[in-house]
Structure 1
């Protein structure tokens, strides 16, 4: 396991000589907002390495330089969380990238296929999962644990070559372009706090409720980031919903809410929440958020939606791609609604 900057520099120099490398990370996030990077696994056709990013004095600069090397394709499976860690620690986005989970959908392996399933289908290899729930922050790690971690990138080499070859043979390589562009966009990982409310499952509709939800969720997002704790440690989702519905104007009213822990309203957080509520309610109606409802198909179009679902399934089976690559439920509802208007 690499634990010095000099060894990392040499490993990255060798990896940079290849057209592609496979990458995976192991991390912990149970008690923090930002993921704690515990391991980096990398492999090329000729080399394979495990890096200990927790090693004292280790500088990850060579790794970040490799991630920015546009001559080397960076291959991930289900890339989003790995890229988020790299973006947070290195303030850069790997480029170019290839996500085998997305590619597998285009190649007909099903929706959001897992790494284990994909390796089994491509290589007929069963991965030993007994080390899956390892605490990767603990040292030392056993040989079995390290072998398990390394398998996440060694098998990925063959999976990548198989999928890449199939995409090129079927003329579908360009189908990945849009999804890869999303994964390579800073906006994917650097969501403004003011948009945090959009991640919540919507149960509110009134503009005043949505405005309070937006302001309180933004406050929670900033607090969680600055304190590096999970969002739920700052304020639970249910509390945001209740605050948005009840709209307490002072800390006494806040303290009477069912979802607020006893005495919490007297803390600095309680005062901050009330400030957010009052600021949101003072907004002109024109500046309050509004939702466009897409939860259900328009009245009279449900039969058309069901027919479109059948056609989607038949089309995806005919062309050997996952149905979500072609369209999702919201797309079908929009198509049905447009047909009704015509």
Structure 2
């Protein structure tokens, strides 16, 4: 393992000479808000390395410079968590990137295919998963554990070349652009605390309830980040819902809530919660959050959604693209209810050409579904 800055500089210099490199990380986050980086694995067609970011005195600056090198494509599988770590520690986003999980969906390998499944399909190689649940923060790591970690980037080289070649041969390389743009966006990893409430399930509807939920969730987000602990260690989701509904204005009222541990209401956190509740309730009604009311779906909409699901499945099978990457259930419901006015990804770009146009014709009567030789097919009128 690389455990000195000088060795890391040399490794990154050699990797930077390649058109692409494969990247993976091993981390722990069960007891922290921010992932604790334990290993970095990198490979190019000629080189492969494991880096110990926990090594004393190791400076990751050469690694971050490599991540920012726009001449080198950074290849990940299911990139979001790896990029989140790089963004948090290096305050940068790798560019350009290629996510093999997304590419695999576009190439017809199914929805959210795992790395070992993809390696099995592309290389016919079985990955030994017995080291998957390793505590990667412990030292020393065994040769078996290091071999397992390195396999996450060595097989990825062949997977990348296979998928890249297939995308280019089928003229689908640009289909990944939108998804990669999301993964390269700061907003994906740097959600303002004020928006943290939007991650919660929308069990509440009233503006006052939503305002309290917004303020309390923002406080929890700031606390969790500052203390580097999971959000649930600060305050559980159920407690936020109850606080938003009951709106306790003093410690006595807070202490009566079922989700609040006995005595917690008199802590500094309890006082902070009361402050957030009262601040939220003091907002003018016009400044409180409002959930958009969905128009009542026309009669027969659900039946139309079921037909659209069949059409989506047919499209997915015909073109060898995972249905998940073309459209989701919300897209179908909006198309069924709103037609061409629906603001969904399925009615934009390549998705519209592949599925959206047919979907609009289906709900307007221009396309029908029929059985032919015990199979369903779409027919344009």
Q: Distance in 1 between matches of 2:189 and 2:297?
A: 31
- Which residues of structure 1 form unaligned runs of 5+? none
Would you say the 8 A contact 1:255–1:265 is kept in 2? yes
Please state how far the C-alpha of 1:294 moved relative to its aligned partner. 6.2
Please state how far the C-alpha of 1:173 moved relative to its aligned partner. 0.2
Q: Pick closer, same or farther for the CA change 1:294–1:11 going to 2, 3 Å.
A: farther
TM-score by length of 1: 0.98
Q: Distance in 2 between matches of 1:297 and 1:86?
A: 44
Q: Pick closer, same or farther for the CA change 1:304–1:261 going to 2, 3 Å.
A: same
1:305 maps to 305
Please state how far the C-alpha of 1:299 moved relative to its aligned partner. 5.0
Would you say the 8 A contact 1:301–1:340 is kept in 2? no
In the alignment, structure 1 residue 78 sits paired with structure 2 residue 83: no
SS in 2 for 1:203: coil
Q: Pick closer, same or farther for the CA change 1:212–1:295 going to 2, 3 Å.
A: farther
1:117 maps to 117
Q: Distance in 2 between matches of 1:209 and 1:162?
A: 51
Q: Distance in 2 between matches of 1:235 and 1:313?
A: 42
TM-score by length of 2: 0.88
Please state how far the C-alpha of 1:68 moved relative to its aligned partner. 0.4
Please state how far the C-alpha of 1:201 moved relative to its aligned partner. 1.4
Please state how far the C-alpha of 1:284 moved relative to its aligned partner. 1.2
Segment of structure 1 superposing worse, 196-205 or 212-221: 196-205
Q: Larger Rg: 1 or 2?
A: 2
Q: Distance in 2 between matches of 1:257 and 1:57?
A: 48
SS in 2 for 1:39: strand
Please state how far the C-alpha of 1:117 moved relative to its aligned partner. 0.7
Q: Pick closer, same or farther for the CA change 1:28–1:180 going to 2, 3 Å.
A: same
Please state how far the C-alpha of 1:298 moved relative to its aligned partner. 5.5
Q: Distance in 2 between matches of 1:60 and 1:293?
A: 48
Deviations 1:261-285 (A, max 9, x none): 0100000100100111111111111
Q: Pick closer, same or farther for the CA change 1:139–1:20 going to 2, 3 Å.
A: same
Would you say the 8 A contact 1:131–1:148 is kept in 2? yes
Q: Pick closer, same or farther for the CA change 1:293–1:108 going to 2, 3 Å.
A: farther
Would you say the 8 A contact 1:4–1:55 is kept in 2? yes
Deviations 1:267-313 (A, max 9, x none): 01001001111111111111111113569966531000111011011
Would you say the 8 A contact 1:294–1:330 is kept in 2? no
Q: Pick closer, same or farther for the CA change 1:298–1:48 going to 2, 3 Å.
A: farther
Deviations 1:194-220 (A, max 9, x none): 000011112111111111100000000
Q: Distance in 2 between matches of 1:42 and 1:148?
A: 13
Q: Pick closer, same or farther for the CA change 1:205–1:245 going to 2, 3 Å.
A: same
User: What is the alpha-carbon root mean square deviation over aligned residues?
Assistant: 1.4
Would you say the 8 A contact 1:297–1:305 is kept in 2? no
Q: Distance in 2 between matches of 1:77 and 1:315?
A: 25
Would you say the 8 A contact 1:5–1:59 is kept in 2? yes
Q: Pick closer, same or farther for the CA change 1:153–1:205 going to 2, 3 Å.
A: same
Please state how far the C-alpha of 1:339 moved relative to its aligned partner. 3.9
- Higher RCO structure, 1 or 2 (CA under 8 Å, sep 6+): 1
How many residue pairs are counted as aligned between the two chains?
341
Please state how far the C-alpha of 1:4 moved relative to its aligned partner. 0.3
Q: Distance in 1 between matches of 2:340 and 2:300?
A: 8
Please state how far the C-alpha of 1:93 moved relative to its aligned partner. 0.4
Deviations 1:306-329 (A, max 9, x none): 110110110111010011221111
Please state how far the C-alpha of 1:338 moved relative to its aligned partner. 1.7
- Which residues of structure 2 form unaligned runs of 5+? 342-381
Q: Distance in 2 between matches of 1:87 and 1:340?
A: 38
Deviations 1:61-94 (A, max 9, x none): 0000000000000000000000000000000000
Please state how far the C-alpha of 1:238 moved relative to its aligned partner. 0.5
